[in-house]
Amino acid sequence: MSSSMLNNLPEDVLMDIFARLPVKSLLQFKCVCKSWCNLIKDPIFITKHVNKSALGNNGYLAVTRQGSTFGGNCSISLISYETFHEVIRITIPSKEYGKAPFTIVGSCNGILCLNVTEIGDTNFLFNPATSEFKELPKPNYPIHELKEDTISDFIGLGFGYEPESNDYKLVRISYSKRLENQFYSGVDVYSLSTNSWRRKNRLVLGTVLVNSFSKAFINGALHWRGVTLKRGDVRCRIISFDVGSEVTRYIKLPYKIDLAKEEWWPFVRNGSLAMVIRSKTHEEHHYIFNIWKMNEYGVKKSWTKQLTVGPLFVLKLVECGMNEELLFATHSTMYLYDLQRIKPPHDDILEADIIGNNFVPWVEVVNHIESLVTIEGTKVYAKRVRKNSWFGKYFIFFQLLFGLVVMVAYVVILPKLIHFFYPTNVSE
């Protein structure tokens, strides 16, 4: 098929074909001709491409690795949804902080938000697919009145996207003070559109627990595990922050659950808000994990216990796969636990697959897709090593082949079908 035939395709058809292709191919196609370049840079196309990628099963799990394993710098591993094998490893391109133990705050539309400090004031945005990197300004607001060595116990960070304003926001919620037997926290919001921080005028009730990142971005809101006080008693709550309205709300936990001595945290499972409760067993370093799901968002009565996993020799549940996979971690090793393969009572971690080790301590994992979304950052050189795998070698080939088939069908087959069913009468 000649390039002129491709150029004659309607823009909406070409856009639909391109939306199915990986970012690497699209970046190369920008050099083919001016019209393709303009199409690929069009914000409407970029949004369409993000939506296609989010609906597909060709995304990744992103996790940071120790610097000593990859040329001295900390790196990001992208693990395929299809195989759960590492397919790409990318160095974090920061001269000043590259060797620091980066952790991933969150991922939205192909943009990773990274953090290197316990008090949440040194953050970066990074699009690994386009190699755009942006160091964010530091907030000019004091954290709270506590001493420096206790600050990290009461900081929450979350990264989210607000579609109406097409803006990306980083939210920091931090303990401020205790007044009249109640905890209060300050909320700071960074906006990518203004590249600046601002502090919400009012303090909010409660505080987050133990330096946590929001791994539950759902219904347009970030969620952290938190506590409030009521008549002097500590009450566990999920603290939510709506990225659009910037309103803080509180979600009550299931009835009759005592979390005073348990570890717990909210996350997303199968498109719903969920929570996992980790309980100790009589055997040292073995834990039981109870997973609950909120069937109707915000309704306390809709909490339903889904399953119990364990006892397992792991520390925490770090993420869920696209199907029935659960990802657990020790300090720096991650395991894949496939519920479809491992039958009840789900207590044999020996059947789990080791995804890898040497991750940054206290592994943080996020779901990630590749995108063309720009962060108005600096183009940097990010060393990329593509791991050898059947999926990695042939995935792009099949996507390109699919696009070619669609174009051939449109240009060659469709006109013939139209002519067959609607023949043109030629008058003499």
pLDDT recorded at residue 390: 47
pLDDT recorded at residue 103: 81
Q: Are 287 and 312 in contact (CB under 8 A)?
A: yes
Percent of the chain with pLDDT over 90: 13
pLDDT recorded at residue 4: 55
Distance CA(81)–CA(363), nearest Å, equals 18
pLDDT recorded at residue 190: 94
* pTM to 2 decimal places: 0.80
pLDDT in tens, 257-277: 777 677 888 988 888 899 888
Q: Are 117 and 124 in contact (CB under 8 A)?
A: no
Task: Write down the number of H helices and E strands in the chain.
Answer: 7, 28
pLDDT recorded at residue 294: 93
pLDDT recorded at residue 392: 45
List the beta strands (DSSP E) in 179-262: 183-191, 196-199, 204-205, 207-208, 212-213, 221-230, 233-242, 248-251
Residues of the chain with pLDDT under 70: 1-9, 56-58, 66-73, 93-101, 118-119, 141-153, 211, 232, 260, 322-324, 332, 340-362, 380-428
**Cβ contacts of residue 117 below 8 Å, gap of 6+?**
none
